[in-house]
Structure 1
């Protein structure tokens, strides 16, 4: 009969849990990056289903999250990109809206003329 070594068994269990946690966190970070979500300890912890303390206490995971968080802070956010795009396209947008207004005013004038003719026809019938 083999001798049961409790310490070895606990080491094996701890190693498998640690590997599972690393895998969950890596997959959560990948999902957050694909979804263009902010990466911080709260978002990674909730996405991975682990405690924030786990992320803070594990040096490798902590360094990875802090690095990604700094990279995201340096990259322009979608709101900033949209604001820049709006500033660049403001003149084109104004010109497009002015053309649309002219077109609608012309159509409005045409419909008023048709309405005058229709009123005249109704008046003649009376």
Structure 2
């Protein structure tokens, strides 16, 4: 998978970490977007199903913190990122890596001709 190769090369992560991290971001998009909107993104990502299944269960304290952030009126992105933190941790990745994955994935989609798709994903991830 080209996207996984780019992530491993640019971020110095292992293949499974790249798949899982990308999968977590795409899971979030799948949860937050309508099916047609997510399909606009998925068409530019060969092997989307494999990426989604490689994502670990986020859960745990990060989900609780994400829920609290949303309940307290924090911007949705704060809760989204808190939920992602648990999954990235399970992959052995520091939560700061989330912010390193996002621009690479957005650039990849945009480079494949999916300017509209990358904008949809950016709304969910930023």
Range into which the TM-score falls when normalised by the shorter chain: under 0.3
Q: Could you tell me the TM-score, scaled by structure 2's length? A: 0.25
More helix by share: 1
> Which structure has the bigger radius of gyration?
1
